Amino acid sequence: MRVISVIGSSSANEEEYEVAYRLGKELARRGIVVLCGGRTGVMEAVCKGAKEEGGLTVGIMPSYDGHEANPYVDIKINTGMNWNRNPIVVASGDMVVAIGGHYGTLSEIAYALILGKLVVGYRTHRVEGVKEVGSLDEILKEVDAFYSC
C-alpha cells in the first residue's frame, strides 16, 4: 500500500484546515493511505477528507489508548510515548506533506530529513531540504511525480 504522512499543527487555522481537508480527499481518491499524528487541526482535516472519499486513515497516537484520536482515524497506533512518537509518523510514510505547524511539526520535518524522505512544505517552517509549494495543486503534483517515478 502507498502511504503518505501528513503533518501540521493541532491548532490549524481555517485555511490550513481547508487545504489539509482537500488533500485528504485527493489522497483517498488515489487510493493512498493517510497517516498522521491522529489529533486535531491539520491531522483531523486530512483524515476527515480521506474518510469522505472512502479512504483509509492511520493515527500514530501519543497515548496508550488512543482516546485523543480525532473521529476520522480508522487505525490507532497507540504508542504511549507522547511527543516521542513523532519520528514514527514520518518514518511510516513514503513521503511527507507538511501544512503549517509549530515545534512538533518542526521535529517531524527534521526527522523526515534525517531519514532522507521527500518533504513537501505548505506554509510551514523554512528548513533547507524541504520542497516549498504554494497551493494544493502543487502538493498534488509532487505526490503524483513521486509515485510515478
* Packing angle of the helix pair 14-29, 42-52 (nearest 10 deg): 40
Separation CA 83–CA 116 (nearest Å): 21
Q: Residue 133 interacts with its own copies (CB under 8 A)?
A: no
**Which residues touch 69 (CB under 8 Å, ≥6 apart)?**
38, 39, 59, 61, 76
Q: Do the Cβ atoms of 32 and 4 come closer than 8 Å?
A: yes
Which CB, 110 or 133, lies closer to its own copies? 110
- Please give the single-letter amino acid code of residue 62: P
Q: Residue 77 interacts with its own copies (CB under 8 A)?
A: yes
Q: Residue 76 interacts with its own copies (CB under 8 A)?
A: yes
- For residue 125, the minimal CB distance to its own copies (Å) is 8
The single residue among 79, 121, 136, 139 that binds its own copies, judged by CB under 8 A, is: 79
The single residue among 111, 121, 124, 140 that binds its own copies, judged by CB under 8 A, is: 111
Q: Residue 104 interacts with its own copies (CB under 8 A)?
A: yes
Q: Residue 64 interacts with its own copies (CB under 8 A)?
A: yes
DSSP codes of every residue in 7-57: EE-TT--HHHHHHHHHHHHHHHHTTPEEEE--SSTHHHHHHHHHHHTT--E
- For residue 71, the minimal CB distance to its own copies (Å) is 13
Residues that bind its own copies (CB under 8 A): 1, 3, 33, 35, 56, 58, 60, 64-66, 74-84, 87-88, 91-92, 103-104, 106-107, 109-111, 113-115, 125, 127, 129
